[in-house]
Structure 1
Amino acid sequence: MKSSHNLSGLILLCLMGYIHPTSAADKFSITLPITARTSSVESDSAAVYYPSKSKYSPIFIGNDGSAETGGFHVYELYGKRSDALVKELGAYKTGRSKLVEVVYGEDRDFVVTLSMSDGMFRVFEVDGKNGVRGLKAEKLVRGDFSAMCTWKSKVGEYVYVLGKRWGYRFLVREKKGGRGVEVVQTQEFGIPIEPNSCTVSPEGKVFLAGDSGKVFSFLAVDETAAPKIVEVGELGGGDEVKGLKIYHGKKDTYLLVGLEDGIEVFDIKKLGSSLGKIQFDDEELEVGDFAVHQTSAKGYEDGSIVFAGEDGEGKFFGVSSLTPLFKALGKGKLNTKYDPRDCTDNHARPKKCANLSDCNGYGYCPKDSRDKKATCDCFPGLTGKTCNKITCPSNCTSPSHGTCTGPNICTCIPPFTGENCATLAVPARYETEESGGADGDDPAIWIHPTDKTKSRIITTVKSEVGSGLGVYDLKGKRTGGVSGGEPNNVDVLYGVEFAGRKVDLAVAACRADDTICIYEITPTGDLVTIPGGVQPLPPAVKELEKKFKVYGSCVYHSPKTGAYHIFVNSKSSLYLQFQLSATTDGKLNTTLVRHFYAGNRGQVEGCVVDDENSSLFLGEEPYGIWSYDAEPDQPAVGTLVDNTVVDGGKLHADVEGVTLVYGKTKKEGYIIVSCQGYSEYNIYQRYPPHEFVMSFSIPDNKEKGVDRVTNTDGITAVGANLGKEWPYGMVVVHDDVNEAAGGGVRADATFKIVGLGDILGNKAVKELGLLKGVDENWDPRK
């Protein structure tokens, strides 16, 4: 669709905030029947494909976010109306995935997806007759990404990949001479949010939105400079935006904003108020991302909408007719002749600049390309007047750690790895036996009171199936466990006075019912229920935040008062601090003693408390690590320990688990932080100014048959001597994808066990003397 809008005028109207409010009385409200659905699948996002020839049927592509079968599925969009389920044309196991999109090329069309398992951006060719032909190209993309959308300019077909405050743009194109397909990075930039979805208007305006309900936008332009991002408005009404899509009308363009309970419809030129709302006839349905197909088909004369949904039967993809929408909007708004191949943005720069060798195909031509002093605007990882020289971050920490062998591609010298070869690769010695659930999260280590070799590892399973806590010995053999309400994080309190005795407690935040779950740890390391072990949130919490949902948690034993505390947070960054006590009739009890919003109010989860220094360390997933005074009578003023690279720090979002290793003095020891999108861990000095020490990752240990760690989440560590094999303690981390030795993936998540001495005492960093900062005699009961 060739755009006839005046782009400069459109931008001016947006900058001026010129919007046309619509009367609430004029808003429509429609309900769409679900006319077809798929079988059960871990659905998050969907894309529809318009075939180039009318003899082929349209298809839709849906992601699969499960660990065992993760990847994407291809479905027939319009089958027989009498069929209860949509016909599946094929399944592609590329690893747990949230994102799929369609790219329309000059001669061929493609499906693109990004695996959370290995960070690979993969390109598959679309076969209009049979679905998808096979893998055509792939590129490693480091980070935790949650939104994907496409833009077609005169230069080529682009894919935006957006995550926690960071974004990339890739050019998907055929290589010269038709020798295959390549993925070229053309832009990287910071963004103000973690978006759940993005979409691009015919004028090349990119819209993105996430948890806050606010929608942002920027202009897609053929240049490498970071775009200027502006806030459009709170189109979600304060609720989380699940999806964004454009409906390309004949004259008007509509922005569809997906919420959990339906989809608001906006005229893109009048974003001040929605035209109306789409809902579905399933009262239990929660709607996720969605896609729109505008072409007519039998039974779907006005097109259809495909959505990721969840109801009482589980997660699936559903299909509904758009006819009720255009009865409300008016048939004159309908456009069933839309073809995405025609949607080329006319405002892109011309590609040719012969005087600069056309930038060798790896940059944009400057406007003054005939000037003898002009240089190309080169893609990331390339430089030179004509973009004919490669560069790498930190020059791959050359020459001792690696060399630059491609645009931003480092070839590292073992044991170093990572984007700039500055990360130490340390394989795990063991992994826990399978947990019984697909979604693990966070571990803790319980120290045995008399024989540290009999200490135990406690882990969480937060998926509905297998939900609860698992118990393992120090080599990962399962010794016990207990069911629970989808616990997210787990921590240990030692020596709590209860009913005339001292007990150790495992404490978790249970998401299924918004409670604090507490279990007694027996002297042999078993978990048993305890009176008052399920603590519901007090009514006062709902007065603080109506939609508060428990998420992460950690514990604190005050050296000043001797009191025991439990910190619980929500995704909104609201922290609740409870004091734990026992009632006279022998039940545990919690009392809310403090609350505060953490950091920049981005999403939070992992936390740990340094009891000796009364310091709470918490991870704000998009921003970094913060320190707060843990005492309830102190002001909640945060100090930034380190932030993410988008703000000049050394952390990579998603910042997840946080743990602590005690030293011989209060000023020694280490903080260890997990970075989920990179599957790497940063180590910092425990005491201010919390200097950065090093980073490490956990690769395959082929000798012991232990797979690598991918998409990591929670982490725990102790520096205590746990026996001959663990003289400096251990680190236990969550591993999202449990890769099988012979290929494929096992269904249940596991946790990997690494010697702390193998990290801090590694030959590659031995000269730093890091083991001196560990107290191998540390005893949590003293």
Structure 2
Amino acid sequence: MTRSTTARSTVLALSSVLAAAALAVPAQAEDHHRASGRSLPVVTPRSETPALHDDEAGGNADADDPAIWRNAAAPGRSLVIATAKEGGLRVYDLDARPVQSIAAPPAAGPDHAPGRFNNVDLVQGLRLSSGRADLAVTSDRGHDRLRFYRIDRDRAGGPLSDVTDPAAPAVFSRDQAEVDEQRTAYGLATWTDPASGKAYALVSRRERTSIALLELLPAPGGRVTYRKIRTLDLPSSFRLPDGTSWSPCAEPDELPQVEGMVVDPANGTLYAGQEDIGIWRLRADLTGTPRLIDKVREYGVPGVYDEETEECTPGADPGYGGTKLSADVEGLTLVTEPDGDGYLLASSQGDDTFAAYDREIGDDNEYEGGFRVAPAGTPQTGSTPDGSEECDGAAALNAPLGSAYPNGLLVVQDGHDSPGDGDRPSTNFKFVDLGKVLHALDD
């Protein structure tokens, strides 16, 4: 999600408040210096995808969220599948070269929104009426649906083919009028229950705190549909240590939404990033009680919304927030290791850094360090890729991917690709050697 003008202005204002506080209180200066990412190690991307442009000339394509599909038979021919919002889906090879472009579905009519692919994840070996298949699953915010694409690496015409059941229901909306309100399917994570073998998608709702659990089901003709199992609502207001109640400043009737989500396959744990709040840990079947494992720095900061400027003016920081994440907390991904170790990685969008947490619940998801994705020098056209700013989505795969990435791959979205193309918004995806990330975290 590229932040709205309101949220962007709020974060800038809050950054000023936090910076002033750090200067005014010397004891806090070192912690703020560390938290702002200045002292974090830098990891340089190896390659980057072509820029996408979110304007009419660029097809309203805006990079958002990636997923990495590993070709078990030929790991060097694996793929990165990524969303481009109204631009649909993009598929890249491991050299970040385009392989396939899939358009989002058109609008249902002249007064309705077109398809808008927000997040993407993968399902391995789902049983369809035509046999087992690997799938790319994406949330279509424009139509409040999930879309499914079968992955066949050597298929003529491109590796992805649409296998969505035309009768697949809306995820949250009761009718087209509710779809038009665009409080629709947003964040996405998939999960296969090892006990039952059933595959699920967890889907968050735009401008609401809801997360829905959907069971993925085969439909006639080798297609895929789903049914809703249950829904959970995360809190929208919070009791602060001073006894007051707080909610993040937002437009009227807009609640703190979730986008970044990932499920740990080893224990069925869902991690969900509530953008202006922090990271929640809960059961992927949406039973039990969610636990907030870390907060954004801006947690507890009061704000007043101005309807004329459509911006929030923050008040004084009471100091109840965390020190590792700056709103928005966005793309979440896991680095898994065979022995059960590994990391939960989170994009700290407000300060262009990434935070790493211990994957082990027994260690209470302890913070293990952070890093930035940045260029080795000044990026210039045709030379070194630039870094990642305001990262929306990330995907990691800790497995050999041929000679290009023998130590695994991290793909991150860049919300401000540079050098830009004049006044045109430019976004893309950066490919990073995961081995370098792990080395930076282990140092």
Same fold (TM > 0.5): yes
How far apart in 2 are the matches of 1:706 and 1:535?
40
Q: Give 1:700's aligned residue.
A: 375
Query: Superposed, which structure 2 residues align to 1:180-191 within 5 Å?
Result: 187-188=17-18
Q: Give 1:457's aligned residue.
A: 80
Secondary structure in 2 matching 1:535? coil
CA RMSD of aligned residues (A): 3.0
Deviation of 1:145 (Å): 3.0
Report the residue type matching 2:196 in the other structure: T
Sequence identity (%): 30
Looking at secondary structure, tell me which structure has more strand per residue: 1
Deviations, residues 429-468 of structure 1 (Å, cap 9, x unaligned): 1101234544211111011131111110111111x4xx21
How far apart in 1 are the matches of 2:195 and 2:235?
25
Deviation of 1:724 (Å): 2.7
Choose from 237, 241, 262 the match for 1:608.
Answer: 262
How far apart in 2 are the matches of 1:594 and 1:539?
11
Report the residue type matching 2:233 in the other structure: Y
Report the residue type matching 2:95 in the other structure: K
Unaligned runs of 5+ residues in structure 2 are: 53-57, 105-114, 237-254, 299-319
* Shift in alpha-carbon separation, 1:584–1:725, aligned structure 2, 3 A: closer
**Structure of higher CA gyration radius:** 1
Matched, 1:443 2:66: yes
CA contact (8 A) 1:604 1:619 kept: yes
Report the residue type matching 1:679 in the other structure: D
Choose from 40, 53, 58 the match for 1:423.
Answer: 40
CA contact (8 A) 2:68 2:81 kept: yes
Q: Give 1:760's aligned residue.
A: 438
CA contact (8 A) 1:497 1:503 kept: yes
CA contact (8 A) 2:148 2:164 kept: no
Matched, 1:564 2:199: yes
Matched, 1:528 2:161: yes
Deviations, residues 89-123 of structure 1 (Å, cap 9, x unaligned): xxxxxxx9937xxxxxxxxxxxxxxxxxxxxxxxx
Query: Superposed, which structure 2 residues align to 1:78-89 within 5 Å?
Result: none
Report the residue type matching 1:729 in the other structure: G
Choose from 142, 160, 167 the match for 2:14.
Answer: 167
Deviation of 1:394 (Å): 4.7
Deviations, residues 596-643 of structure 1 (Å, cap 9, x unaligned): 112546211111111221111110001111111113xx6242022211
Deviation of 1:589 (Å): 2.0
How far apart in 2 are the matches of 1:549 and 1:531?
18
Matched, 1:503 2:136: no
Query: Superposed, which structure 2 residues align to 1:204-283 within 5 Å?
Result: none
Deviation of 1:395 (Å): 2.8
CA contact (8 A) 1:395 1:420 kept: no
Unaligned runs of 5+ residues in structure 1 are: 1-66, 68-95, 100-143, 147-161, 169-184, 190-378, 384-389, 397-407, 411-416, 768-782
* Shift in alpha-carbon separation, 1:725–1:573, aligned structure 2, 3 A: same
How far apart in 1 are the matches of 2:123 and 2:37?
39
If asked which structure has higher relative contact order (CA below 8 Å, sep 6+), I would say 2
TM-score w.r.t. structure 1 length?
Answer: 0.44
Query: Superposed, which structure 2 residues align to 1:150-165 within 5 Å?
Result: 162-163=10-11
Deviations, residues 29-49 of structure 1 (Å, cap 9, x unaligned): xxxxxxxxxxxxxxxxxxxxx
Q: Give 1:643's aligned residue.
A: 295
CA contact (8 A) 1:599 1:638 kept: no
Q: Give 2:189's aligned residue.
A: 554
Deviation of 1:560 (Å): 1.2
CA contact (8 A) 2:76 2:404 kept: no
Choose from 661, 680, 683 the match for 2:335.
Answer: 661
Report the residue type matching 1:530 in the other structure: V
How far apart in 2 are the matches of 1:740 and 1:563?
45
CA contact (8 A) 1:739 1:745 kept: no
How far apart in 2 are the matches of 1:550 and 1:698?
29
How far apart in 2 are the matches of 1:476 and 1:539?
35
How far apart in 2 are the matches of 1:381 and 1:583?
57
Q: Give 1:682's aligned residue.
A: 355
Query: Superposed, which structure 2 residues align to 1:85-164 within 5 Å?
Result: 98=5, 145-146=8-9, 162-163=10-11
Deviation of 1:479 (Å): 0.8
How far apart in 2 are the matches of 1:534 and 1:394?
57
Looking at secondary structure, tell me which structure has more helix per residue: 2
* Shift in alpha-carbon separation, 1:675–1:549, aligned structure 2, 3 A: same
How far apart in 2 are the matches of 1:517 and 1:534?
11
CA contact (8 A) 1:729 1:757 kept: yes
How far apart in 2 are the matches of 1:758 and 1:518?
33
* Shift in alpha-carbon separation, 1:429–1:744, aligned structure 2, 3 A: farther
CA contact (8 A) 2:142 2:184 kept: no
Deviation of 1:652 (Å): 1.3
Deviations, residues 187-212 of structure 1 (Å, cap 9, x unaligned): 559xxxxxxxxxxxxxxxxxxxxxxx
Q: Give 1:714's aligned residue.
A: 393
CA contact (8 A) 1:624 1:642 kept: yes
Q: Give 1:192's aligned residue.
A: none
CA contact (8 A) 1:516 1:534 kept: no
TM-score w.r.t. structure 2 length?
Answer: 0.76
CA contact (8 A) 1:674 1:715 kept: yes
* Shift in alpha-carbon separation, 1:615–1:380, aligned structure 2, 3 A: closer
Deviations, residues 546-583 of structure 1 (Å, cap 9, x unaligned): 96412111111111110010111113011111101113
Choose from 380, 388, 397 the match for 2:21.
Answer: 380
How far apart in 2 are the matches of 1:700 and 1:574?
37
Deviation of 1:382 (Å): 4.2
Count the aligned residue pairs.
373
* Shift in alpha-carbon separation, 1:533–1:610, aligned structure 2, 3 A: farther
Secondary structure in 2 matching 1:750? strand
Deviations, residues 698-735 of structure 1 (Å, cap 9, x unaligned): 12244842112222111111111112332221111111
Q: Give 1:490's aligned residue.
A: 120
How far apart in 1 are the matches of 2:423 and 2:354?
23
Q: Give 2:276's aligned residue.
A: 622
Deviation of 1:586 (Å): 4.0
How far apart in 2 are the matches of 1:591 and 1:508?
16
CA contact (8 A) 2:11 2:350 kept: no
Q: Give 1:476's aligned residue.
A: 96
How far apart in 1 are the matches of 2:174 and 2:280?
23
Deviation of 1:644 (Å): 1.5
How far apart in 2 are the matches of 1:721 and 1:591?
35
Report the residue type matching 1:641 in the other structure: I
Report the residue type matching 2:88 in the other structure: G
How far apart in 2 are the matches of 1:715 and 1:538?
24
* Shift in alpha-carbon separation, 1:663–1:705, aligned structure 2, 3 A: same
* Shift in alpha-carbon separation, 1:531–1:518, aligned structure 2, 3 A: closer
